[in-house]
Amino acid sequence: MAEEIILNWTDPNSVRKRIHVRAPQQVAWQVFTEQMGTWWPLAVYKIGKANAVDAVIEPRVGGRWYERGDDGSTCDWGRVLVWEPHSRLVLSWDINADFQYDPKLQTEIEIKFIAEKDGSTRVELEHRRLDRFGERREEMRNVFDKTGDWGKLLVSFAQTAEASAKG
């Protein structure tokens, strides 16, 4: 997976990712916008107190982007800024460096779904305006940009911690 992702180190206020999806453009768009709750890592990437069970994008400009908890509560993440089915979506990401909702933050995520000749889709994501994080920009850029093969280290940390908890 890692080799499919291109990192851009040049712009300090932007993180870019590109991924190739073996699915038609329309399917990629629908899974991203209508079924986000089936794939978003809700166990970790959520902000509410309740366990998050769904992530929802309201399908229109100005629509909410939010998580829904198992107690029915909702927590906003941002808004829909551009809605161009099935090719382009821009969302605001209004979650600050402490992972709290802040409607004034307004970093932007642009996602492009580009149909390839073979019926697959190239998905390009840019998370920009990271300058809005102020003095924590570098820290947050690192969180968003980091190449994610560190999960193994976490598993090993958890096992070590559990072993020492038992011992």
Partner 1 sequence: MINAERALDALGDRTRRRVFARLRHRTCSAGELAQGMGVTRSAVSQHLQVLKAAGLVVVTADGTRRLYQVDRRGVDALRRWLDGFWDETLGAFKEAAERVAAKARRS
Binding site for partner 1 (CB under 8 A): 1-2, 5, 15, 17, 19-24, 27-28, 30-32, 35, 38-41, 44-45, 97-99, 121, 123, 125, 127, 139, 142-151, 153-154, 161-162, 164-165
CA 58/CA 66 separation, integer angstroms: 9
Closer of 11 and 39 to partner 1 (Cβ) = 39
Work out how close the CB of 23 gets to partner 1 at its nearest, in angstroms, rounded to a whole number: 3
Judging by beta carbons within 10 Å of its beta carbon (0-12, 13-18, 19+), is residue 30 exposed, middle or buried? middle
Work out how close the CB of 28 gets to partner 1 at its nearest, in angstroms, rounded to a whole number: 5
Query: For residue 151, what is the enclosing H or E element?
Result: helix 151-166
Closer of 23 and 62 to partner 1 (Cβ) = 23
CA 91/CA 167 separation, integer angstroms: 47
Closer of 5 and 81 to partner 1 (Cβ) = 5
Closer of 45 and 82 to partner 1 (Cβ) = 45
Ramachandran bin of 155, using left for φ above 0, alpha for ψ from -120 to 50, beta for the remaining angles:
alpha
The torsion of the CA quartet 34, 39, 44, 46, rounded to 10 degrees, works out to 0
Work out how close the CB of 51 gets to partner 1 at its nearest, in angstroms, rounded to a whole number: 11
Work out how close the CB of 20 gets to partner 1 at its nearest, in angstroms, rounded to a whole number: 8
